[in-house]
Amino acid sequence: MMNNKYKILLVEDDANISNLIAAMLEATGYQVLLAESCSMAKLLYSSYLPDLIILDLGLPDKDGMELLHFVRKSALTPVIVLSARTKEEDKVAALDSGANDYVTKPFGSAELLARVRTALRNHRFSSEEGRLPGGRFTLRDLEIHYEARQVFIQGQEIRLTQTEYNIVAFLSENAGKMMTYSAIIKAIWGSGAYDGSIKKLQVNMANIRKKFGAKPGEENYITNELGVGYRMNG
């Protein structure tokens, strides 16, 4: 029974927060390993190889980013950053260093659990099944056929331009992960002039959302975090 449980490494020095999260995760059926410092987290990570890491950035010994770099040297273990730092630059830095997602304190339990589920599911999908060229991506009634480069909603083909398709495909290949503007721009246009590309990206995203039938201010398949990036939900 224990062996079937996902192991989650929770790195958090605030006992009130860690107790709350640990209780919530355990009630949901996860096994929790708790570290109160960066050095302890490294030790637990290396000994137990957890399935997911929830990472506070403000730790007593080192910055939590150090653990993120340490893990990313050798593994794609999903990392959800949980931080009181709300500046866009901090989020972008964590995401561009390989964090899968970023949750800002204070947070809702339901929201954090949803992000954990998404990160675990997408990681399992990408590591076990791979993304074959002829593969398909499904998110509720949205379907992408990679080989034919076609996108369908409720079985109806959505006509996208080449660029729009490339953006949608890239986000779907990283579903559940918040992709920063610069990561998307690099993938779609190469590392060109970044400033002009943000505008181009925003125009393309607006068109994609319109074609996907999103109403202004409403999220359907793709979430936009202003100043940070986009995430294909899932």
Least distance between Ca ion and beta carbon 208 (Å): 37
Q: Which residues bind Ca ion (CB under 5 A)?
A: 13, 56, 58
Least distance between Ca ion and beta carbon 13 (Å): 5
Sign of CA dihedral 211, 213, 218, 223: negative
Report the residue number whose CB is nearest to Ca ion: 58
Residues 100, 178: Cα–Cα separation, whole Å: 6
Maximum Cα–Cα distance across the chain? 54
Nearer to Ca ion, 62 or 72 (CB): 62
Nearer to Ca ion, 18 or 118 (CB): 18
CB 212 within 8 A of CB 168: no
Least distance between Ca ion and beta carbon 25 (Å): 18
Query: CB-based contacts of 163: which residues, under 8 Å, 6+ apart?
Result: 188, 204
Nearer to Ca ion, 56 or 164 (CB): 56
CA atoms within 13 A on the CB side of 123: 20
Nearer to Ca ion, 56 or 143 (CB): 56
Residues 62, 129: Cα–Cα separation, whole Å: 36
Nearer to Ca ion, 44 or 160 (CB): 44
The CA–CA distances, whole Å, from 103 to 39, 82, 99 equal 22, 5, 11
Least distance between Ca ion and beta carbon 172 (Å): 34
Nearer to Ca ion, 79 or 188 (CB): 79
Least distance between Ca ion and beta carbon 35 (Å): 12
Q: Give the burial string for 136-175 (b: 16+ CB within 10 Å, else e).
A: ebebeebbbebeeeebebeeeebebeebbbbbbbbbbbbb
Least distance between Ca ion and beta carbon 82 (Å): 9
Token pair for 21:
């999260």
Least distance between Ca ion and beta carbon 99 (Å): 16
Nearer to Ca ion, 68 or 171 (CB): 68
Q: Strand order of the sheet with strand 229-232?
A: 179-180, 229-232, 222-225
